[in-house]
Structure 1
Amino acid sequence: MGEKAAPARREGIPLGRIAGIPVILAYSWFIIAAFTVIAFGPVLRADNPALGVSAYTVAFAYAVLLLISVLVHELAHALTAKLYGWPTEKIVLNLWGGHTQFENFTATPGRSVLVALAGPAANFVLAGGAWMVHDSDSLGSVAGILVNIFMWANFVIGVFNVLPGLPLDGGRIVESAVWKATGSQAKGTVAAGWAGRVIVVALGFWFIARPLLVGESPEFSTLMITVLVAGFLWMGATASIQQGTMRGRLHLVNASGLSRPAVGIPATATVADILRVAPAGIPAVVVCGPDGRPQGVVDASAVAAVPPHAAGLTPVTAVSYALGAGAYVPEWSKGQELIQYLGQLEGQEYAVVDHHGAVTGLLAQDVVVAAITGKSVRPNRYPQGQNR
């Protein structure tokens, strides 16, 4: 009896759907919530002695208001994208704020900027609304504190996110400008990623190096926030540079160009038949089932181990290993289309077929990865067919 598949690990707590978009509260959010209470609770209590221990409750409310601000920010992205027919898979609220995950779509420089800037624009609207009621006499002390915090939080979120570097929303301006000028989104993404790294250096200088140069020590909370934000931005900028670099190499990814020559042979064949079509193990030999579809690959080392007198009696299935289910691709597949297709298939090798379904090549997963990343393929330390 087969083992039960392990249940998928939950990403967080589902909060429901807004405009049909699933919203998930990642478990990591509770870390930033706890940090907010620990860092700002004592400050609120010192500034407002009348609050007493309830200052920590107010600090938690501050964390919730930040969560709401981020949710509105991400919803603005998602709903603006919806206007252009970009499907949104989900919104995740986490330690770093949150992110909107889109499904596949076709973007343009202008639309990319509008979707990106919708988030900060929503925060500026929230800050403006809070500012309008901030000085109202009807607000109590706690409500006044929270409205003030809400106003400044949204203002800071809005300003911070329009800084011109990825992974911040303002980075899309840099990306789109370079994209428009060069015609290459990949170059735009790389440029915006480097701009994001420049922002990290600038933040580190302003909040850490500058005070030290004048003989001052940055506050612990400021230091921790700067380190966390800078680390997040650096990782995001680096990921953007890698993504842009890979996207720029997509034109090199095509099934026919990256595959090694191969021929198909029926599953009823013998080793003798293999030796006739591939006497030296070249080209590769793909075993095809009764319906003509690729189902396995001949192991050249296993063929070499068969004694000559037994070649006509040894079936091809005895010297081959199975391909993953449906592991074959059209020879004209290329670029993002090929990568997405391979991502749905099992195994590490794929037969390549022509318009008539005849086998023309054998494509290895590591060769595709090497084409995308620019890294050379490591020699295979395992015999064909052996589990990695």
Structure 2
Amino acid sequence: MPASPSDPGPHGSSDRPSTAPTKRPPGSLKVGSIAGSDVLISSSWFVVAALIAVLVAPIVDQVQPGLGALKYVAGAAFAVLLYGSVLLHEASHALVARRLGFTVSSITLHFLGGMTSIEGEARRPREEFAIAVVGPLTSIAVGLGALALRPVTPDGLLLLAVEGLVVANLLVGVLNLVPGLPLDGGRVLKSLVWGVTGSVHRGTVVAAWGGRLTAVAVLVWPLVQAQVVGSEPDLLDFVLVLIISMFLWTGATAALVSARLRSRLPSLQARGLARRTLSVPADLPLAEAVRRANEVQAGGIVTLTADGAPLGLVNEAALLATPQERRPWVPVSSVTRTLETGLRLPVGIGGEELVRAITSTPATEYLLVHEDGSIYGVLATEDVDRAFRESR
């Protein structure tokens, strides 16, 4: 049940809280909210709930004979109870992340358990550690709590439910501490390597390879199951092992790709990518503005207010779409975008901070300014993308 932070690449998610509405994933159903985060159930959950109901029904029939078809209802109730404890696991991730200042867009229950969608990446190793470790610890606490209730729980379906919670939560808690991404234990390992080496990139790579090794170990499990636990694997065991192994391998591989991309971000520095800029009055004819820009070899045009303050940025696409014969008769302001919040960036910005800035306010051009607010140049998104591609 890994918490799932968004990994910003050239156009990734913001590291800071966002006020933008979250788009619900297709095939999901909202059933409530926890601490302001939507609780979603994916369509795959209903499949696994039905599967649990069918598998538990024979056990229910042994514990409480004579229920007939109601044994499947009891099995479905057990599935709901089990996923209630999964929800506690995910809610603990969400609450700690929110306490640390991150936006948590949703908690989703699905076939393999749950996922908490946290916008942004931890800024320090201890944040990564706290968000990751609290989930498994919550599951272990629930399991131990259920274990403490077992001696005073009456026989029957209630005892069956308590014992199921003990086994499921202790198993989930312990297995999630396995040191490999995308498991919580992988993020714990990442935070420890990050803290020791000072490199989040190295921490991610080590934890991702831990995830790949775990995926291989899971795939091998049916071959040694009989020798370890004394029972032969059946078809369901092989199917579950294949699904879990694919989940782990895919998540670990995605983490490696993300780490590779993030290692290239420091080369993105706004100062070195800035275009020479021409400042003109907003009512200047567009043809004249273009002529002046060509004369001084400017790659960007900024419009000014009457008192000389930056007002807007000429949109290159809008400029090129304006026919030559119309340019002498329309003002520059007709192809500019007003300098709203987020379109002014400090000239010293770079790396992940630059990526977060242009992601939170999507645009084709940004105005780079000095600390005193004076104009340095214009930053074009296409130049950032090109620099990122060339940094391989």
1:141 aligns with 2:156: yes
Letter in 1 for 2:162: V
The aligned residue for residue 312 of structure 2 is: 294
Q: Which residue of the partner structure matches residue 58 of structure 1?
A: 74
The structure-2 alpha-carbon separation of the partners of 1:149 and 1:372, relative to structure 1 and needing over 3 Å to count, comes to farther
Indicate yes or no: 2:41 matched with 1:26.
yes
> Compared with structure 1, are the counterparts of its residues 111 and 206 closer, same or farther at alpha carbon in structure 2 (3 Å cutoff)?
same
CA shift at 1:44, angstroms? 4.9
Residue pair 2:289, 2:332 contacting (<8 A) in 1 also: no
**Worse-superposed segment, 263-272 or 192-201:** 263-272
Deviation (angstroms), 1:90: 4.8
Partners in 1 of 2:205 and 2:389 — Cα distance? 14
Listed as ranges, the matches of 1:1-388 within 5 Å are 9=24, 12-17=29-34, 20-28=35-43, 29-41=45-57, 44-45=60-61, 50-81=66-97, 85-87=100-102, 89-95=104-110, 96-102=112-118, 107-136=123-152, 138-207=153-222, 218-267=233-282, 268-279=284-295, 282-290=297-305, 292-298=310-316, 302=320, 306=324, 313=328, 315=330, 317=332, 321-323=335-337, 326=340, 327-355=343-371, 357=373, 359-369=375-385, 371=387
Report Cα offsets for 1:343-382 as digits up to 9, x if no partner: 2324333343444555543333344345557677xxxxxx
Displacement, 1:165? 0.7
How big is the shift at 1:244? 2.6
Distance in 2, Cα, partners of 1:116 & 1:300: 46
Separation in 1, partners of 2:147, 2:389: 49
AA aligned to 1:196 is G
What CA distance in whole angstroms lies between the structure 2 residues aligned with 1:232 and 1:371? 33
Change (3 A) 1:196 1:250: same
SS at match of 1:260: coil
**DSSP 3-state at the match of 1:204:** helix
Cα distance in 1 for partners of 2:22, 2:96 equals 34
Q: Which runs of 5+ in 2 are unaligned?
A: 1-20
RCO greater where, 1 or 2, for CA within 8 Å and sep 6 or more?
Answer: 2
> TM-score, normalised on structure 2?
0.76
Q: Give yes or no for contact 1:67–1:93 (8 Å, CA) kept in 2.
A: no
How far apart, CA to CA, are the structure 2 residues paired with 1:299 and 1:76? 47
| Cα distance change of structure 1 residues 370 and 224 upon mapping to structure 2, 3 Å threshold | farther
1:161 offset after TM fit, Å? 0.2
> TM-score by structure 1 length?
0.76
Which AA in structure 2 matches 1:36?
I
* Aligned 8 A contact 1:330 1:355 in 2: yes
The structure-2 alpha-carbon separation of the partners of 1:26 and 1:365, relative to structure 1 and needing over 3 Å to count, comes to farther
Letter in 2 for 1:143: L
Distance 1:124 1:7 in 2: 31
Unmatched 5+ stretches in structure 1: 1-5, 377-388
Are the counterparts in 1 of residues 91 and 107 from structure 2 also a CA contact under 8 Å?
Answer: no
Q: Please tell me the residue identity of whatever aligns with 1:15.
A: G
CA contact (8 A) 2:268 2:387 kept: yes
* Rounded Cα–Cα distance in structure 2 between residues aligned with 1:217 and 1:369: 54
Q: RMSD across aligned C-alpha pairs, in angstroms?
A: 3.8
Q: Which SS does the other structure have where 1:65 is aligned?
A: helix
Change in 2 beyond 3 A, CA 1:315/1:354 = farther
Shift of 1:107: 4.2
Are the equivalent residues in 1 in contact too, given 2:293–2:301 (CA < 8 A)? no
